Amino acid sequence: MVASAIAGQALADDEESLINPYTVDPSLYTNKQILIQNAKHIKERSKLRVELRDAEKTNRDLRAQVARLHREMQDLVDEYASDISDDVSPRKKIKLQLKRSKEENLTLQTAISGLNQRILIVEAEKDSLAAQLAHANAAASAHGSAAHASPHDSAHGSAALKVRRYNRVGLTFCI
């Protein structure tokens, strides 16, 4: 009966680790293994931060392109208005100006639409990266808190285990 309860708990722990790969069972890991896991999470977080920073830069660049295209569109409309000579009737001037501005507007709106779609994609990637980073942060802090509760502490005494906190990255390393 005890063996089946232990097997059931082990199965539940295995299922939990499949659901959340960052779950740490302190009785299964030594401090060295936890340090290795923390190092992996730090690398993953660094990579995600770089990707997030790149996505934000791309987003800013695309928004700047949209603003530039809007300015160009307005400049073209103003230029066409000044190009029309005075000897053409006012009604014909308006028709010519309207035709030219519609053509340019359509071209620029197509470009702006493409950039707006790209901005949405980059923002979705940025949100995804932010979620992954938050998950990595939570996992790393879970590893750190699990290290404090490990049976390894009681076996060697709490004085033998030094804990150093790095608040800048929000992780706890056990040395």
Does pLDDT of 161 surpass 50?
Answer: no
pLDDT (0 to 100) of residue 91: 74
How long, in residues, is the chain? Answer: 175
Per-residue pLDDT at 112: 81
- Tens digits of residue pLDDT in 85-109: 555 677 777 777 778 778 877 887 8
Return mean pLDDT, the chain: 68
Q: Is 19 a domain residue?
A: no
What confidence score (pLDDT) does residue 173 get? 41
Residue 155 belongs to some domain of the structure? yes
More confident residue, 128 or 161: 128
Q: Is residue 87 part of a domain?
A: yes
The pair of three-digit structure tokens given for residue 49, joined into one six-digit string: 């931060």
pLDDT over threshold 70, residue 16? no
- Spell out the long-range contacts of 123-129 with Cβ–Cβ below 8 A and sequence spacing 24 or more: 123/55, 123/59, 125/51, 125/55, 126/52, 126/55, 126/56, 126/59, 129/48, 129/51, 129/52, 129/55
CA–CA separation, 91 and 59 (whole Å): 43
156 or 57, greater pLDDT: 57
What integer pLDDT is reported at residue 127 of this predicted model? 83
Averaged over 117-121, what is the pLDDT?
Answer: 83
The number of domains in the chain is 1
Residue 119 in domain: yes
Q: Please check whether residue 1 lies inside any domain of the structure.
A: no
At 38-57, the pLDDT tens digits run: 888 888 888 888 888 888 88
Is 17 among the domain residues? no
**Domain hosting residue 122, numbered range:** 30-174
